[in-house]
Each structure stands twice: as C-alpha cells, then as structure tokens.
Amino acid sequence: MLRSGVNYTPSAGWFYSWYEPDFDVVRRDLEAVAALGLDHVRVLPLWPVLQPNRTLIRERALDDVRTTVEIAAASGLDASVDVLQGHLSSFDFVPSWLTTWHARNLFTDPEVVEAQVRLVDALDERLHDVPGFLGLTLGNELNQFAAATHPSPMPATPAQVTSWLEALLAAPRRDPRQHRVHAPYDAVWYADGHPFQPAHVARHGDLSIIHSWVFNGTAQGYGATGPHGTGHAAYLVELARAFAEDPDRPVWLQEVGAPTPHVPAEAAADFCEDTVRAAADSPALWGVTWWCSHDVPRALGDFPDLEHSLGLFDEGGVVKELGLRFGRVMAELREAPVPAPRRTAVVVPVDDEDVPLSRAELGPGGGVFETWADLAASGERPTLVTSRTAADPAALARRDVDRVVAAPVTGRSHYSSVSDAEMFPAGVGDG
C-alpha cells in the first residue's frame, strides 16, 4: 500500500520549538494532519538540541522526541525520525563542537563519527518500542556539507562517504522492521564531482530516498507546471531504480513541494496532484511525504520567501486547497493497483564503478533528462537503466525492459541547488 505523509513543521515557532516544545500545539497540529487522511509524519529534531556536546546526549531532548512520536501515534499517524539536523530550509544546525575553534569534519573525523553513532543508538533505544515508529533517517540533506559550494565545506571522498554511511547505518537496531535510511539532496544525481554518488542512495539503507525540488533548474528551464516539471519527481524515482542492484528496492519520495514563485500559488494544488500521480505510476514507490505541514510564520526573519508558502496548512493552521487535494489524491492512490512494469528504458552511461560519465547529462538541460521527459510527455512510461544493465539481456529481463533508448549528449546543464538566487550564493538554500 502506498504510504502518504508530511514533513512536520511545527505551526508555532517552527523547528526552534524543539528548545521548548509545546505539546498542546504538537497535538493540535498532528490531529489536523491526520484529518487529511495521511498516515505518517517525518519528525525533524535539531541536532544541537539533542547533542550539544560531543559526549553529551540530553535525556530531556530524547524524551521530547519520544513524546512527539507518541502524540503522532495517538493521532493515528506513524512517525519517522531524523537524527542529525543538520540543515533545514537554508539554515544549518551544526553543534558548536563542529564549528569555528572546534572545526571538525562530520564525515571523516573518527571521534565525530563515533559521537553520531551514539546518537543514532540513543534515538533507536528511546523510540523502538513506540507504536507506529517507522525508523530513522540519518539527517536532512547532509551531503550539502560535503559540497565544495558550501560556505564551510567538510570535504570527503566517495570512499569516506561510504565508510560514514556504513558506520551510522550499522548502529544498533532493536527492531529490524524499522527502517534506517539516509537522505541526500539532488547534487547526488546532478552534480559532477559530488562525493555522494547515485550508488550511495540506491545501495545503502533500507530504501532509496529522493528529494524533488523543481527550483533546481527544472522550473527555470521548462516551467514547473508542464510535463518536465510535474514529471521531475517521477524521473528521480526511476533514476534511483536504475542504480539499485535489486530492481524491487523501494523508493521513498521523502520531500516534494510546490515552491513559489516557481510554482504559482494558484497552481500549487494542480502541481501537487500531477506530480504525485506521475510519481505513483511506478511499482517501486514506497510513499510520498510532502514538504511541509505548516507554513513558516512570516514573523520569523531571514527565510527564503518560498518557505512561507510550502505548507499544507497556513501559519494559522487553516488547511489550504493544496492540503485538501493532497489528502484526496493520496487516498485514491492508496487503493490503486500496483502499476504495470515500465518496458522502455533510457540509458544512463556509467563507468565500471557505476558512476555516471556525466551527471550533468542526468539533470535539467542534459540529454538523459530531456530524453526521458520527452518520452513521458509523449505518453510513454519510460524508466532508466545504467549502460552496464543495458548491456546485459538477463539484467534487462529482470527489470521487464524490452526496449532501450540512447540519449544524445547535450553538453549543457540548467542545474542549480539554489532555492532563492537573490538571497543566497550558489549551493545554499536547497530544501
């Protein structure tokens, strides 16, 4: 059954509310989410609140996370919890023991990695027995800290990324039914040289996680509400499938939203429906978790303007047409049969290590992206396969693919990770 949920942004005080949670507000918010017919929330506590010192994990903060998950369960919602926050809505929340005078690399410093493993373990221990607890995501788009475009980058090689993922994902898990995943932003697919690679998404953790944002050059190059824009999330689902060793590995669309002005406010509900329907037309899709539940209050300063309009509810808690539409469409799709296989595949050229020869060609403006999107716009249901898979008839048969299409090399890219180019330098501001 297709899962439907929302990334929970508290209506009062945004994520700053983790410093002093008001559980009456949390209860009101989550009951409103459940009333839309959704079945889960993603809960995102702040890392400095949980672990303000490398050797200190706050018991009260762990209790607050548990209480939030318990309130979700009482409201009829399952809950997934992030561990290292990390990065949210253009703001970094990195503990003081990783910055300035204490600057250390979160991916490669052995003591830092050990501290992160302890926090994963502590949250698992505190949450594993709560009804409806789905599992842990390592953190939100942590790969942005490894990008050269970050103002204070923490460089890592692909091999070091692998070691970091293996260490955190292998932290003790008391209930094997609960997931353990990681959630990079789309540089992993579209930015050449980025140390997080497609195989990291498709082969580490229990599900492949994708975050789909059309402000990445898709809306600017093709328009958000046309087939290239509303098909972007579906494209990422199929791209994640292409790099999975198991063709049946599930893909979680963990973030997708309707960012203004890239998506006009009056078109947000239609964009939502078209995007979700396109993504759900894949047998691999585990679920859709919309970003986000509530608009960021206008009283809070220095946010990119689009952050104040992404919610299913406005800042006063009134449900929008966007929220009603998302709830109705997801309720319909939950009852739909499993989609048929996709038999036409666009080829992604890769090297012997399954690294794309050009990630720019996978992004907006690139030949792979445009070939896939044009086929989809013409009424076909294309998937993607790597060139290594395309050369193996048995591998194609396991994926039910009977036709492969080579994409031209365009040599261009519209890709940008910037959500508000007027406010932020390159590389800052993605979801």
How far apart CA 247 and CA 418 sit, in angstroms, is 32
Region 28-54 average pLDDT: 98
pLDDT tens track for 65-85: 999 999 999 999 999 999 999
Strand residues in 44-200 grouped as ranges (E): 78-84, 87-88, 91-92, 133-140, 179-183
Percent of the chain whose pLDDT exceeds 90: 95
Distance between CA atoms of 388 and 395, rounded to whole angstroms? 9
pLDDT band at 421 (very low <50, low <70, confident <90, very high): very low
Res. 284 pLDDT band, cuts 50 70 90:
very high
DSSP state letter for 415 = -
Q: Mean pLDDT over residues 144-166, rounded?
A: 96
Does the pLDDT at position 427 exceed 70? no
For the chain, which domains are there? 3-334 (3.20.20.80)
At 286 the three-state DSSP class reads strand
pLDDT tens figures, 319-375: 999 999 999 999 999 999 999 999 999 999 999 999 999 999 999 999 999 999 999
pLDDT for the residue 430: 39
pLDDT at 237: 98
Q: Residue 375 forms beta bridges with which residues?
A: none
Question: Would you say residue 262 has pLDDT above 50?
Answer: yes
Largest interatomic CA distance in the chain: 58
Cβ within 8 Å of residue 401, ≥6 positions away: 342, 343, 344, 345, 383, 385
- Residue 330 phi/psi, 5-degree rounding, is -65, -35
User: Is residue 249 a contact partner of residue 208, using CB atoms and an 8 Å limit?
Assistant: yes
Return the pLDDT at 334: 95
> According to the model, what pLDDT value does residue 370 have?
98
| Token output for 23 | 């559980």
Task: Give me the mean pLDDT over the 4-28 stretch.
Answer: 97
What distance in Å separates the CA atoms of residue 19 and residue 198, rounded to the nearest whole number? 35
Q: Residue 418: is its pLDDT beyond 50?
A: yes
Say whether 175 sits in a helix, a strand or coil: coil
Give me the mean pLDDT over the 16-32 stretch. Answer: 98
- Beta-strand pair 208-212/251-256: parallel
C-alpha–C-alpha distance, residues 12 and 10, integer Å: 6
Query: Cα separation of 236 and 417, whole Å?
Result: 15
- Local structure of 265: helix, strand or coil: helix
pLDDT at 257: 98
pLDDT at 422 over 50: no
Peptide bond into 272 cis (omega under 30): no
DSSP H helical ranges for 251-366: 268-280, 321-334
CB-CB contact of 181 with 207 (8 Å):
yes
pLDDT confidence of residue 299: 96
